[in-house]
Structure formats: structure tokens, C-alpha cells
């Protein structure tokens, strides 16, 4: 039997697992996908929000502000790309300026440091590409951009290094209370646990209903994006929002931590797992973004994608015990990425209040470093290649990612099993050609290292096959 079993390994489940792995407890994490971070965590705006948006007094407000502080530190400690570039909310009218004053007031009540309202001229001095129609802006210096999937992976790896048992490809299908424990049914067998944490993202209502009377509905809302080439990465220096509405934080224009420009999202009701993009959605994103930054060159777009938010219709996260030993970490919509580390901390606090003993391990392993070849000096390149010639073979030309880095991630606590799994870990395939050149070489490497045939290497999720084995048959016919 495990002390705590966590359902879902997005950023929420990973943060809870990392936090609990500090203590003398057994922790199990069940994730139905073949990798961590395949839900909302992989497709979002990647902003570490300052915390002026949530209503004062909500759990969301408290966890957002605490999460902002924790996450910036965590990223530094765990070698996760993160840049504190600050954010602006733009006003175009008197009505918008009233909204800025309301956000400033909320932010001050929430304890957000450094907020300031800037004039239109001042904000254009800082961001010369902003529209001439901008009349004022709210400046939040603690906002940051990060790599969301690397944050999730880094926390999950830390949990695994400290003894957590992560089971991928394991979908929870039912929950049964037997005496003082939970029997957790999955597609790979049953697990027993004293406590179950529900971190199932857009499926958190389904998992909740397995354990407790129906209480909330997840109302999924899809957001679509443009990702632009690095040639557009300097169009703005900070995260540029428009005023939020009841539909969300609105369309933003932001540098990414990898040097690209991200533009989006819209907000449309959608089926739970529908991450398709639409011409109408993307047109809306493009036209709305141009109101903030008119000269974005959308011909430099290298990818469109969409993510699905786990909204619930409540103005807050749904966090709390729903049944004995069953804790919901649910409806973790935006700013869930920012709040995850604080949610993990809060989950541990709630478990302790419920009677779980939290005794710190003396052996907690914290800290993480990965080789980033392209960021090293020539002397460091030479030393690295002399130590291991695999660092001398460049696999991804756009992002200058070497074979050595890919082999390194295959030896990490949570190795990738797919081409996109490699991309999320080392950036191979993230550049202008989006894997056109390096994709086949990554398949070759995965096949060699995982001792699988190339046909068995998926692009991403289980079943997303790249090679179907027909090449050989055609060759034989010829
Ligand atoms: C368009 C968009 C923009 C956003 N922008 C931001 C932003 O800029 N800043 C910010 O702070 N937040 C943002 N968010 C919110 C943030 O992405 C989410 O709050 C966060 O990723 C939620 O993480 P999670 O772990 O709760 O859920 P997920 O990442 O969805 O993880 C849930 C996991 O549970 C697994 N699972 C589900 N059911 C089962 C089961 N039965 N058995 C086993 N596993 C299961 C899933 O496979 C999944 O991996 C945005 C979200 C979206 C969609």
C-alpha cells in the first residue's frame, strides 16, 4: 500500500509529488499517457502570472501570488528556462483604464509587488512596437515566461529521484473505499492507497465522481495560438495583455523563453480533449493581437497549436477533501501553471491537517542540471566533445542540439519514449523546420537506445505512429 497516490502527472500532480517526496512517505503517481505533461500543461501561454487578476480572498489569488514567487526560484534551482520579463495590460479607452485601476487595486490586495500604471507614452517608450492607440498600461514586474513542460518534468524527476513511483500508461478507471484505504482500479491492475489526490486536469470531474457525489463540472475551453519564428522574438520585450473579460485573460503577445514570439489564445467552449485549431479561431487571434502590436509579421508563423483549460464556472480552483482520504486538486485552470508549486505545498498542508505525518527526509535530493550545448563557450564545446564525441554530432540544426544531449535525457529519471518527448526535453524539433530534418535522426536514436524497431517509435502519444513498415515492402517490390 502506498501512503499517497496521485492521479495525473501534469504540473499539478508533479508539484504535489515533488512536495510530498520531501517527507518519509511512499508516493505513487499514475499517468495514463506515455509521458508527463501531456494535458493542459503542454499547451498554454507559459506565463508565470504576477497575480493581480484573481479576486482577492480566493484560493486562486493566494496560490497565484505564492506560486509566482516559488516558481521563479524553482526554475533557477531545477534548471528550467524562465525569464522574469514583466507584463503589461494595455488600455485603449477610458473603460479599459478603469479596468486597469481595478486590477491594480486587486493586485495590491493580493500582495503583488511593484504594480504601477504607466501612461501611453511611457509604455511605448518601453515597447516601441505597441499601437499608437494604447492610452495606458498596468506594469507588473514579477511576471515571467517559462518552459511549462520542463517545469513539470523537473518537478516529476525530483519526485522520482526521491523515491516516488511514477507509472506511465496507467489510466485510473475506478475508485473503491475499502475500510480506511482506497482501492484504485487501473488498466494495468489495482493499487491501494491511504490517500488519493485528484490532479486529473480536464478529467478531474470524472475522477471526482468515482469517489464522491457529483459536485462540479469541468467546462473545457480551448485556446488557440500562433508560435512565430525567432526572427519575430524581439517584437516585444514583455508579456503584453489586453484587458481581461469574463472569457479570460484575452489575447496576449509575448516573447517565449526560447526566443520565439507567442500570440494567443482565444477562448471557445470545446470537447475535453479537442486540441485542434480552426481558421476562425486563428483569424480572431491574429486580428485581436494586431490591436496591441500592429506590425507582427504572421508570415513567420512556424506552428499553430491549441490547449484546453479545465474551467469549472466557479471563480476559483476546487481544492479540498471530497471524501475521506480523497483530495481534489481540481478545476486548475489559468493561472494553474503559476500556482502549481503553491498547490503542491497546500496539498501537503491539507494532508497533514487530516492526520498524515510529514517527517522530513534527511536525504532529499534537490537540484538538476542539463547540458545546453549551444549556450556553452567554444572551450567548453571542445572539452565536452573530447569527453564524449556524441556532443560533436549535431542532430537538430535549427536549435543546435547534439546527440550527446539526447543521450543524456534518455538516461534521466524519466526518459522520453517518443520524438516529441525528446523535443520537450532538449528542444530538438522546436526550431524553424519543426523537426523536418532532425525527426528521422531522433527516431533512429530512440530506436537504437530503447532497443525498439523504428516502426515502434511514436511521434507523441501511444498510437501516433510515424513509420508503418511499408517502406520495406515498397523497396522489395522495386
Ligand atoms: C490555453 C491555455 C492557456 C493557459 N495559460 C496559462 C498561463 O499562461 N499561465 C498559467 O499559470 N496557467 C495557464 N494555463 C493553465 C495551466 O496550463 C493549467 O492550469 C495547468 O497546466 C493544469 O495542470 P494540471 O496538472 O492540473 O492538468 P493537466 O496538465 O491537464 O494534467 C492532468 C493529467 O491527468 C492525466 N489524467 C487524467 N485522467 C486520468 C486518469 N483517469 N488516469 C490517469 N491519468 C489521468 C492526464 O493525462 C494529464 O496528464 C493555461 C491553460 C490553457 C489551456
pLDDT tens for the chain, 478 residues long, are 999 999 999 999 999 999 999 999 999 999 999 999 999 999 999 999 999 999 999 999 999 999 999 999 999 999 999 999 999 999 999 999 999 999 999 999 999 999 999 999 999 999 999 999 999 999 999 999 999 999 999 999 999 999 999 999 999 999 999 999 999 999 999 999 999 999 999 999 999 999 999 999 999 999 999 999 999 999 999 999 999 876 667 899 999 999 999 999 999 999 999 999 999 999 999 999 999 999 999 999 999 999 999 999 899 999 999 999 999 999 999 999 999 999 999 999 999 999 999 999 999 999 999 999 999 999 999 999 999 999 999 999 999 999 999 999 999 999 999 999 999 999 999 988 889 989 999 999 999 999 999 999 999 999 999 998 765 555 555 4
Question: Does 3.10.450.50 match the CATH number of domain 1-80+145-218+310-369?
Answer: no
Residue 51: closest CA among 35, 38, 67, 37: 67
Helix axes 439-450 and 419-426, enclosed angle (nearest 10)? 100
Ligand 1 pocket check for 309: Cβ under 6 Å = yes
Distances (CA, A) of 433 to 207, 317, 383: 39, 38, 29
CATH number of 87-141+219-309: 3.30.9.10
Q: For position 478, what pLDDT does the model report? A: 47
Q: Which of 29, 39, 175 to mutate to test the pocket of ligand 1 (most atoms within 8 A of CB)?
A: 39
Which residue spans within 53-188 are E strands per DSSP? 82-83, 87-91, 116-119, 136-140, 144-146, 165-167, 172-178, 181-186
Helix count (H) and strand count (E) of the chain?
Answer: 13, 22
In this structure, is the dihedral angle defined by the CA atoms of residues 222, 223, 224 and 230, taken in order, positive or negative? Answer: negative
Q: What angle do CA 387, 389, 391 make, to 5 degrees?
A: 90
Active site residue 258: no
The dihedral over CA atoms of 168, 172, 177, 183, expressed in degrees to the nearest 10, equals -40
Q: Which of 15, 205, 337 to mutate to test the pocket of ligand 1 (most atoms within 8 A of CB)?
A: 337
Residue 307 CA, closest ligand 1 atom number: 53
CA dist 218 and 336 (Å) reads 14
3-state secondary structure of 347: helix
CB proximity list for 207: less than 8 A, separation 6 or greater: 7, 8, 172, 175, 198, 200
Helix axes 403-410 and 439-450, enclosed angle (nearest 10)? 40
pLDDT tens, position by position, 7-23: 999 999 999 999 999 99
**What are 253's three cell numbers?**
503577445
3-state secondary structure of 354: coil
Residue 303 CB burial class (10 angstroms; 0-12, 13-18, ≥19): middle
Ligand 1 pocket check for 338: Cβ under 6 Å = yes
Ligand 1 pocket check for 9: Cβ under 6 Å = yes
Ligand 1 pocket check for 424: Cβ under 6 Å = no
CA dist 150 and 162 (Å) reads 18
pLDDT tens, position by position, 136-151: 999 999 999 999 999 9
Q: For position 177, what pLDDT does the model report? A: 97
Q: Which residue has the cell 484504485?
A: 184
Q: For position 468, what pLDDT does the model report? A: 85
Ligand 1 pocket check for 199: Cβ under 6 Å = yes
Q: Which run of H or E residues covers position 253?
A: strand 252-255
Taking every pair of C-alpha atoms in the chain, what is the biggest distance, in angstroms?
73
Residue owning the nearest CA to atom 37 of ligand 1: 200
Q: Which of 40, 310, 312 to mutate to test the pocket of ligand 1 (most atoms within 8 A of CB)?
A: 40
Ligand 1 pocket check for 33: Cβ under 6 Å = yes
Note the pTM of the prediction, 2 decimals: 0.96
Q: In the chain, what are the domain boundaries?
A: 1-80+145-218+310-369, 87-141+219-309, 373-477
Ligand 1: centre distance to CA 442 (Å): 27
Amino acid at each position: 500500500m502506498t501512503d499517497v497516490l496521485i492521479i495525473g502527472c501534469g504540473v499539478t500532480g508533479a508539484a504535489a509529488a515533488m512536495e510530498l517526496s520531501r517527507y518519509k512517505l511512499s508516493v505513487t503517481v499514475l499517468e495514463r499517457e506515455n509521458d508527463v505533461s501531456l494535458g493542459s500543461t503542454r499547451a498554454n501561454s507559459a506565463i508565470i502570472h504576477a497575480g493581480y487578476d484573481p479576486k482577492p480572498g480566493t484560493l486562486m489569488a493566494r496560490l497565484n501570488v505564492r506560486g509566482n514567487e516559488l516558481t521563479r526560484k524553482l526554475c533557477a534551482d531545477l534548471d528550467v528556462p524562465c525569464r522574469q520579463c514583466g507584463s503589461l495590460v494595455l488600455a485603449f479607452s477610458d473603460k479599459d483604464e478603469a479596468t486597469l485601476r481595478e486590477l491594480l487595486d486587486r493586485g495590491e490586495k493580493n500582495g503583488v509587488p511593484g504594480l504601477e500604471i504607466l501612461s501611453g507614452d511611457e509604455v511605448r517608450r518601453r515597447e516601441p512596437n505597441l499601437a499608437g492607440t494604447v492610452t495606458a498600461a498596468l506594469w507588473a514586474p514579477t511576471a515571467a515566461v517559462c518552459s511549462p513542460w520542463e517545469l513539470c518534468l523537473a518537478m516529476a524527476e525530483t519526485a522520482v529521484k526521491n523515491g516516488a513511483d511514477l507509472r506511465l500508461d496507467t489510466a485510473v478507471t475506478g475508485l473503491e473505499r475499502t475500510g480506511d484505504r482506497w482501492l484504485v482500479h487501473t488498466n494495468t491492475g489495482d493499487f491501494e492507497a491511504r490517500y488519493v489526490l485528484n490532479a486529473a486536469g480536464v478529467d478531474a470531474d470524472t475522477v471526482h465522481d468515482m469517489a464522491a457525489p457529483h459536485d462540479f463540472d469541468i467546462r473545457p475551453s480551448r485556446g488557440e495560438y500562433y508560435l512565430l519564428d525567432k526572427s519575430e522574438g524581439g517584437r516585444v520585450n514583455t508579456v503584453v495583455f489586453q484587458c481581461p473579460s469574463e472569457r479570460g485573460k484575452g489575447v496576449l503577445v509575448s516573447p517565449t523563453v526560447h526566443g520565439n514570439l507567442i500570440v494567443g489564445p482565444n477562448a471557445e467552449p470545446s470537447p475535453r480533449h479537442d486540441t485542434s485549431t480552426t481558421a476562425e479561431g486563428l483569424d480572431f487571434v491574429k486580428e485581436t493581437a494586431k490591436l496591441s502590436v500592429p506590425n507582427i509579421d504572421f508570415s513567420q508563423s512556424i506552428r499553430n497549436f491549441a490547449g484546453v483549460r479545465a474551467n469549472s464556472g466557479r471563480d476559483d480552483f476546487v481544492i479540498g477533501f471530497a471524501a475521506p482520504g480523497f483530495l481534489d486538486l481540481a478545476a486548475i485552470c489559468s493561472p494553474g501553471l503559476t500556482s502549481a508549486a503553491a498547490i503542491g505545498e497546500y496539498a501537503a498542508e491539507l494532508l497533514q491537517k487530516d492526520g498524515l505525518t510529514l517527517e522530513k527526509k534527511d536525504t532529499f535530493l534537490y537540484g538538476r542540471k542539463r547540458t545546453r550545448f549551444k549556450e556553452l563557450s567554444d572551450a567548453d564545446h571542445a572539452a565536452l566533445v573530447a569527453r564524449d564525441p556524441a556532443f560533436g554530432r549535431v542532430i537538430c540544426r535549427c536549435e543546435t542540439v547534439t546527440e550527446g544531449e539526447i543521450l543524456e535525457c534518455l538516461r534521466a529519471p524519466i526518459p522520453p519514449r517518443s520524438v516529441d518527448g525528446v523535443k520537450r526535453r532538449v528542444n530538438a524539433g522546436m526550431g524553424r523546420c519543426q523537426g523536418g530534418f532532425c525527426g528521422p535522426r531522433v527516431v533512429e536514436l530512440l530506436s537504437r537506445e530503447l532497443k525498439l524497431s523504428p516502426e515502434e517509435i511514436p511521434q507523441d502519444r501511444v498510437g501516433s505512429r510515424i513509420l508503418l513498415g511499408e517502406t520495406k515492402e515498397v523497396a522489395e517490390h522495386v
